[in-house]
Structure 1
Amino acid sequence: MSILRRLPLRRLTRHHLRSRRFATLAAVRQDTTVWTPTPISLIEPAAESLFHISIDVSDSPDLVSSHTRAGQYLQLRVPDVEKPSFLAIASPPSLATARGAFEFLVKSVSGSTAELLCGLKKGDVVELSQVMGNGFNTDKIDPPEDYPTVLIFATGSGISPIRSLIESGFGANKRSDVRLYYGARNLKRMAYQDRFKDWEASGVRVVPVLSQPDNSWSGESGYVQSAFVKANQIYSPKGTGAVLCGQKQMTEEVTSILVADGVSSEKILKNF
């Protein structure tokens, strides 16, 4: 009987030791994050359920210098909420250097930290982690003369790091065919429409694609991958690069289409 009594105790002890070890490791990981208090300098609607948020990092040179490439992201905490939100930086690194600001496009999702963030106002203080991720490695699609075609795909708030990419500059005006297929439910859900002219001027042809347009819409409808297949324009697969950000299904389907057309998977850039 003494052996039978010991067995459950031994299992319980191992379980507690294992749980304690994992909890300690998790605490160590959490403690390694450096949080910097920063004030919100602007918050305004960008589209339906989307908000444009600018955060003042002018007093945080380490934060500014940690943003080096379009497609990077960071963690953001709001007061009295332990769980952070992961946000892609929408502004190019040059904006942080010139104006001391990080800009974000935030989707307000019910019950999330992002929803609380979108409910704050100018002057409220949030906490930012250091900038994370490798971003879009555009070195893989350089020089422009070797990769004259760059196909960009974004859906919903996935346009956020794409804005950073376009406004960072990747030699679009030196390439013969740069297209952005940007998908949203309707025009009310499509952010950055006021920037389209500037993007076009920089060499990026913007192709808006609406999945649920109204009767007045005469542009592309459905999904971005369908709009791309419909166009069916890849002149030189070996000279083609791509950048993807958005829904998982979209990125997987577009990747499959491009690879089947002969585009190298190494030239299909993602920010994760």
Structure 2
Amino acid sequence: MALALSPSPSLPHAHVSHTLPPMSILRRIPLLHLKPQRRRLATLAAAAVRQDITVWTPAPLAEISPAAESLFHVSIDISDAPDIASSHTRAGQYLQLRVVDVGKPTFLAIASPPSIASASGAFEFLVKSVAGSTAEVLCGLKKGDVVEISQVMGRGFDVDRIQPPDEYPTVLIFATGSGISPIRSLIESGFSSKERSDVRLYYGARNLKRMAYQDKFKEWESSGVKIVPVLSQPDGNWSGETGYVQAAFSRAKKIFNPQGTGVVLCGQKQMAEEVTSIVLAEGVSSEKILKNF
């Protein structure tokens, strides 16, 4: 997932209801015992039930402003929803957002750290405007417009798995595009980065115009995170890393102690898969590779 995560799929409710047993029975049937087609329909029916019980809370937009090319800062005022604010407890969590008169909700990773919600009563997001999507409609709204949000979802990044810092002095963070959104929450939440000797963020974008949060790099580096921007299509003046983040990391490697290394991933699927293969081959434990879903 702005890093927006993918919009939720539409569910064929009409076809599910007359071909499957009641949900009370369905819940007691192990899916593996169903034929593939009925297993798929059962999964869709269960998803439909989950969507049906979503509680939607209206909330006004506090800010919408450009963050980079096709990316927008979006801040939502949740001061009247303290229960939702307090449910954001870990970087990497997300929620659903819907716009009035727009069919599908969109999933958005929360970019601000949990402390922001409790201190200022706001959730901040980095939203990619994709043509024809709910996110595009959202990015066209203005301050004061009201949207609806769900409760906070997901387990977020389980940083307890790479604690204490003296046992895991190396943390390698990888993000592409709007996948930097929950990574911002992680960095600004604090995960003892100053107490670790080697914390690196490999952050990939097409070019500098597409790279959000450049104004935060100095602050992040002062917190102990080395920023390694990687551009896949840079202009002629770029002298930094080029290509994809997984290739940039492969060139650098420098995993000094695989047993003492944690990895955080968010962004393009191919990137996540290739980085995972690289670090596993280097000896990093799969239990120390953190994702937010």
- Whether TM exceeds 0.5 here: the answer is yes
User: Corresponding residue for 2:25?
Assistant: none
Deviations 1:83-106 (A, max 9, x none): 100000000000000000000000
* AA aligned opposite 2:171: V
- Cα deviation for residue 30 of structure 1 reads 2.6
Give the one of 181, 191, 196 matched to 2:202.
181
Instruction: Calculate the aligned-residue CA RMSD, in Å.
Output: 1.6
* AA aligned opposite 1:95: I
User: Corresponding residue for 1:115?
Assistant: 136
Does the residue aligned with 2:125 lie in a helix, a strand or coil? strand
Distance in 2 between the 1:231 and 1:120 partners? Answer: 43
Give the one of 262, 284, 288 matched to 1:263.
284
Distance in 2 between the 1:194 and 1:25 partners? Answer: 43
Distance in 1 between the 2:17 and 2:174 partners? Answer: 47
Distance in 2 between the 1:117 and 1:174 partners? Answer: 39
Give the one of 216, 227, 236 matched to 1:215.
236
Give the one of 135, 141, 161 matched to 2:156.
135
- Cα deviation for residue 31 of structure 1 reads 2.6
Matched, 1:252 2:246: no
Does the residue aligned with 1:170 lie in a helix, a strand or coil? coil
* AA aligned opposite 1:18: T
Residues 142, 27 of structure 1: CA spacing in aligned structure 2 closer, same or farther, 3 A cutoff?
A: closer
Gapped regions of structure 2 (runs ≥ 5): 1-14, 23-41
- Larger Cα Rg: Structure 1 or Structure 2? 1
Residues 118, 236 of structure 1: CA spacing in aligned structure 2 closer, same or farther, 3 A cutoff?
A: same
Does the residue aligned with 1:82 lie in a helix, a strand or coil? coil
User: Corresponding residue for 2:18?
Assistant: 17
Which contiguous aligned blocks of 4+ residues in structure 1 show a shift greater than 3 angstroms? 19-28
Does the residue aligned with 1:242 lie in a helix, a strand or coil? strand
Residues 18, 95 of structure 1: CA spacing in aligned structure 2 closer, same or farther, 3 A cutoff?
A: same
Deviations 1:174-231 (A, max 9, x none): 0000000000000000000000000000000000000000000000000000110111
Residues 41, 235 of structure 1: CA spacing in aligned structure 2 closer, same or farther, 3 A cutoff?
A: same
Does the residue aligned with 1:227 lie in a helix, a strand or coil? helix
Matched, 1:103 2:124: yes
Aligned residues: 259
Distance in 2 between the 1:117 and 1:262 partners? Answer: 43
Residues 24, 198 of structure 1: CA spacing in aligned structure 2 closer, same or farther, 3 A cutoff?
A: closer
Does the residue aligned with 2:130 lie in a helix, a strand or coil? coil
- Cα deviation for residue 232 of structure 1 reads 1.7
Matched, 1:74 2:75: no
Q: Residues 16-165 of structure 1: matches in 2 within 5 Å?
A: 17-18=18-19, 28-165=49-186
Could you tell me whether the CA contact under 8 Å between 2:233 and 2:242 is conserved in 1?
yes
